[in-house]
Amino acid sequence: MAVLHNRVSQAELKKLLYAETEHRTTISFYRYFQVDDPKLFRDEMYKSMNALKVFGRIYVAYEGINAQISVPDSNVNAFKNYLDTIEPLKNIRLNIAVDNDGKSFWVLKIKVREKIVADGINDPGFSMQNKGSYVNTAQMNELIQDENTVVIDMRNHYEYEVGHFVKAIEIPSDTFREQLPMAVEMMKDKKDKNIIMYCTGGIRCEKASAYMKHHGFENVYHLEGGIINYARKAKAEGLESKFVGKNFVFDDRLGERITVDIISKCHQCGKPADTHTNCKNDGCHLLFIQCGACGKQYDGCCTVECQKIYNLPLEEQKEIRKGIDKGMMVFNKSKKRLRPRLDENNKKKEY
């Protein structure tokens, strides 16, 4: 019987990844299409992907597939050939990571979900068939210059913070499901404008464009392949990047550099910084921006309190974090969420 799940510890898998000598290519792809039996689709895909030594995170649902993976370079062509055997995925656009060190994932996880991107949409009349028009890199640059264009960032606040397109409007929310109705409300008096929506790889902005069309907006566009595809095409075609800063990614890298601009600040000292990290205290694990100096000063922790816990013996740390539900641990200044910045006396300072 074929093995359909990983049976090795995460720590051992990560150790094995860094011991690999062959380079890996980090790839993301998605497609909205009807999957009649997501569980069967998932199991068959796991066997094929595992045989090709693919690592990563893949979601399968009745509405399609969403994948972020890494593939050994020697297996990339075989991987593409495998996708071509699945009719809805034949010739699918693959987004190759811009900052590609190949160390993005160390285990293969394929999960069946209700949807490939959680959207909170319950309207039976909603359809992904009626979506906005694609714009490519050159068209994106051209439309951004048009004063009749509104550019909407459909990513989370912490993604927008470190990098975004010039003129882009942030939808100030933690989740995509919250952003959809907010985007409609924010644009209700701009139905005569060209509305361009974008996200990391295209999956969120494609659905957002269909949601806007569903609510009566006509001139709706979405960036083909998202920021990842845009950045590669801009470089290849010698075009100026209208995306400034860093592109946040949901893997072990936590970001890939698009331009040299640093547009965000360290959440501890306020100096220019755009490196996301998770607090080293496993009872916290807060995602926040930390500069190199603060990383050394606080041992990679978000507060002195967490630093003290992090430096305790491991058994004491485990005892302290018993019963803690970290939930969605993301630094969000706008909602005074979670842990605030330290003041000059290493005490918590309210926002």
How far apart CA 159 and CA 247 sit, in angstroms, is 7
CB atoms closer than 10 angstroms to residue 110: 23
Sheet holding 243-247, edge to edge: 163-165, 243-247, 256-257
Question: Does 199 qualify as catalytic in the annotation?
Answer: yes
Of 199, 205, 279, 284, catalytic: 199
Q: In terms of C-beta distances under 8 Å and separation of at least 24 residues, what long-range contacts does 330-333 make, across chains too?
A: 330/156, 330/158, 330/174, 330/286, 330/287, 331/158, 331/267, 331/286, 331/287, 331/288, 331/289, 331/302, 332/157, 332/158, 332/174, 333/267
How far apart CA 3 and CA 206 sit, in angstroms, is 34
Per-residue HEC secondary structure of 191-260 comes to: CCCEEEEECCCCHHHHHHHHHHHHCCCCCEEEECCHHHHHHHHHHHHCCCCCEEEEECCCCCCCCEECCC
Quote the Cα angle for 23-26-32, to 5°.
Answer: 150
Compute the Cα dihedral for 29, 35, 39, 44 and give only its sign: negative
Nearest Cα residue to 232 out of 325, 86, 96, 134: 96
Token output for 68: 């972020």
166: alpha, beta or left, given left = phi > 0 and alpha = psi -120 to 50? beta
What is the phi/psi pair of residue 55, to 5°? -110, 160
Token output for 2: 């074929």
Quote the Cα angle for 99-100-104, to 5°.
Answer: 110
Pairing of strands 163-165, 133-135: unpaired
Active site residues: 199
